[in-house]
């Protein structure tokens, strides 16, 4: 993997430094074992119109208006229930713990895997706290943090106003004082409201002062869920272009859990983008080891092939894998490389695959012009030219806002049949 100029690229620390210190929140004995409703695990068919009860729409809970919990009241509740806390931490599936929301076969959805990562890291290190709009009493727009405020209290699960710039500023200040904040944005589109602080301060402060800012910014991103252009953006190119930020875009529950845990433990600021289309559609068995992590900056080959390489990430990985199945029926062997982290970019894995297959199809959901795939294609052209048997092909949406009309959004986003056609033309070169 190439050196991309991010301080402490691996986020590695010695063993003593990796141990969580005494709680900056003071002595607390833990929470009552609350019993909120279980998350709906039903998967909506791809391309289906989304409504309030779908896999992609923000959960409406019981229809109550989101409320902001009081800091003092929640902290008091958390400190009065020490006996329940021991049971809650010891048995998976007890009370509100996310691991209790797995299927009977032990599978976790992408959404539940993210919730597990947050829960486990908050138990591991009391410097970790969450903040964001409606993440506490309401449990989050997509119910990722459902039950967290009962377990950890309002001092560590902080409801905020609708003020993204303030959320970022609070996170920066807390990190300067030794905390490890994880900020949630209801939609990744609205991260732009805190763009100045993210790119000017969060990304550069370590370089300027030597003071690390271990902040994680979580944002549901991506299209395909009929959420229109204000709720469907893929903002990863914005942040990948800002020095000092790591940008993560996992496609599978295991990778989401492992990468989020790595991001929380990393001393560099990380932007963690969760594709909404994947939230409840994709499930798999995920490690319950509290020390399970996935390294930041390391791609993964999700399907071996010999005729061409499809390089992609996020929701497009699943479309690429489906397209690869169709191509195999026509005798075309496609290798699928999932970047997982778009910055720093794992050039080594990409180049090794292209050297093996001789052809490269770069598939991405961020806009075609200066999107993530543009950089991937440039790297392949510069560093693997001698291995190429055909021109590099890019497949990405046009440079327009994401349409709301289902027919137009389907035309806007690369679909499986588009990937198959592009790959077939490339393999015939």
Q: Is the dihedral of CA 99, 60, 182, 87 positive or negative?
A: negative
Residue 223 burial (10 A CB sphere; 0-12, 13-18, 19+): buried
Angle at 284 (CA atoms; ends 119, 131), nearest 5 degrees: 25
Tokens representing 133 are 């709009």
> Could you identify the residue written with the tokens 């959004």?
409
Q: What is the DSSP string of 226-286?
A: S--TTS----HHHHHTSTT-EEE---SHHHHHHHHHHHHH-SS-EEEEEEGGGTTT-EEE-
Q: Cα dist. 228→189, 215, 223, 225, 363 in Å?
A: 11, 29, 8, 8, 21
Find the distance separating the first CA and the last CA of the chain, reported in whole Å: 29
- How many C-beta neighbours within 10 Å does residue 131 have? 21
Q: Pick the catalytic residue: 206, 231, 275, 318?
A: 231
- How many C-beta neighbours within 10 Å does residue 23 have? 12
Closest CA to 144 of 108, 98, 194, 190: 98
231 given a catalytic annotation: yes
- How many C-beta neighbours within 10 Å does residue 65 have? 7
Counting Cα atoms < 13 Å in the Cβ hemisphere of 119 gives: 30
Q: Which residues are identified as catalytic?
A: 231
């Amino acid at each position: 993997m190439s050196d991309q100029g991010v301080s402490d690229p691996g986020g590695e620390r010695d063993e003593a430094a990796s141990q969580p210190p005494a709680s900056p929140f003071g002595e607390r004995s833990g929470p009552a074992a609350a019993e909120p409703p279980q998350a709906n695990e039903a998967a909506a068919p791809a391309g289906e119109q989304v409504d309030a009860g779908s896999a992609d729409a923000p959960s409406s809970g019981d229809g109550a208006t989101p409320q902001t919990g009081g800091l003092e009241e929640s902290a008091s509740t958390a400190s009065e229930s020490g006996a329940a806390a021991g049971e809650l931490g010891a048995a998976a599936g007890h009370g509100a713990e996310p691991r209790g929301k797995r299927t009977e076969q032990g599978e976790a959805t992408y959404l539940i895997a993210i919730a597990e990562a947050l829960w486990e890291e908050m138990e591991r290190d009391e410097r970790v706290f969450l903040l964001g709009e409606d993440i506490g009493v309401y449990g989050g727009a997509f119910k990722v943090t459902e039950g967290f405020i009962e377990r950890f209290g309002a001092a560590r699960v902080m409801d905020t106003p609708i003020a993204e710039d303030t959320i970022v500023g609070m996170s920066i200040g807390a990190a300067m004082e030794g905390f490890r904040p994880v900020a949630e944005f209801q939609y990744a589109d609205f991260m732009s409201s805190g763009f100045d602080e993210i790119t000017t301060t969060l990304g550069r402060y370590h370089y300027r002062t030597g003071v690390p800012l271990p902040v994680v910014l979580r944002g549901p991103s991506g299209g395909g869920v009929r959420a229109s252009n204000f709720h469907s953006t893929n903002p990863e190119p914005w942040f990948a272009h800002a020095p000092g930020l790591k940008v993560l875009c996992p496609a599978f529950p295991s990778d989401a859990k492992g990468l989020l845990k790595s991001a929380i433990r990393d001393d560099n600021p990380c932007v963690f983008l969760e594709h909404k289309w994947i939230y409840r559609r994709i499930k798999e068995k995920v490690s319950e080891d509290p020390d399970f992590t996935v390294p930041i900056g390391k791609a993964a080959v999700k399907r071996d092939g010999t005729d061409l390489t499809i390089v992609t990430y996020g929701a497009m990985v699943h479309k690429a894998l489906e397209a690869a199945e169709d191509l195999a029926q026509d005798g075309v062997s496609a290798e699928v490389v999932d970047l997982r982290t778009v910055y720093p970019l794992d050039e080594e894995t990409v180049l090794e695959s292209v050297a093996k297959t001789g052809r490269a199809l770069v598939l991405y959901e961020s806009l075609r012009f200066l999107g993530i795939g543009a950089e991937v294609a440039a790297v392949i052209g510069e560093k693997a030219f001698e291995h190429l048997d055909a021109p590099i092909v890019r497949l990405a949406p046009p440079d327009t806002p994401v349409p709301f009309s289902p027919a137009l959004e389907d035309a806007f986003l690369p679909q499986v049949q588009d990937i198959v056609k592009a790959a077939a033309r490339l393999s015939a070169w």
